[in-house]
Amino acid sequence: MFKILRAEELTENIFLMEVEAKRVAAHCLPGQFVIVRGSEDGERIPLTICDYDREKGTITIVFQIVGQGTLFLSNLKAGDSFTDFVGPLGCPSEFCDEDIESLKKKSILFVAGGVGTAPVYPQVKWLKEHGVNADVVVGAKTKSILILEKEMEAVAGNLYVTTDDGSYGRSGMVTKTVEDLVAEGKKYDVCVTIGPMIMMKFVCKLTEKLGIPTVVSLNPIMVDGTGMCGACRVTVGDEVKFACVDGPEFDGHKVNFDEAMRRQTLYKTEEGRAFLAAKEGDTHHGGCGNCN
């Protein structure tokens, strides 16, 4: 059992929990995720790691209520326990494998949207701890659902907050802020964007036009986290990939976002899942050892 040490509602339908998981905390890196289960008969839910403390042996997760499984998790309190808390899974952020001195010479931009702020935070924090400053754009529909602003401000080189409705910070979509920063003379060597699929699509369209290499995290399309269900099958360039076993990070300029979003709509129904399995054949699943 994995004890919950802290449970907090950040904003409506978005929750943060700090969980005692010593072995996960000892080995995880930014960009990776865990699979949690709130009860013996509960749903397996993949969640990106928001923060970790190796000394305390804790992992922090942030999630939004999107179904019965996350609704159940939202009712857990400090002192309760997860039945399963498996990880770290997925590949770490590519920054973790780069030479630190080379990273210090780069101008890095992060663009986070909504709950995507949670997986952006550990990457920016890791860079800060290694002497690398990064600019961060955080977007939300409105001020009331903005999360982790103070935490992000503490680790970002420069933090730019924007709301779609103009209720706080800059006004407009995150893409407008990126355009404004470049127009003001900012030059970036790489961009990392995490958030809703539609947001990442348009950030990538913009950065491709601006000539900024861009990494996306496709954690929003993961379901079982092992490649067995086929939910996170995505085309990257000319290759079929699975976000949970090959990612979750990919070259955003090569991701077929339109195809991925259409698949997500189909995957929501039993008939749609059967159609995808029949259409995609042996490439429908990944990571099970029987598929190429």
User: What pLDDT sits at residue 69?
Assistant: 84
Per-residue pLDDT, 260: 83
The string of pLDDT tens digits covering residues 96-108 is 888 999 989 999 9
Question: What pLDDT digit, counting tens, does each position of 202-217 carry?
Answer: 999 999 999 999 999 9
Tokens of 271: 């008939």
User: Which domains does the chain possess?
Assistant: 2-89 (2.40.30.10), 94-217 (3.40.50.80), 220-242+254-292 (no CATH)
Contact assessment for residue 6 and residue 17, using Cβ atoms and an 8 Å cutoff: yes
Cis preceding-peptide flag for 213 (omega within 30 of 0): no
Q: Specify the pTM.
A: 0.85
Alpha-carbon span 233 to 266, nearest angstrom? 12
Predicted confidence at residue 269, as pLDDT, reads 56
Query: Among the residues of the chain, which ranges form H helices?
Result: 22-27, 68-74, 100-104, 117-129, 149-155, 174-183, 197-210, 243-246, 257-267, 270-280
Token output for 136: 């961060």
Q: Output the pLDDT for position 1.
A: 78
Residues of the chain under the 50 pLDDT cut: 288-292
Helix 257-267 to helix 197-210 angle (10° resolution) is: 170
Question: What pLDDT sits at residue 20?
Answer: 95
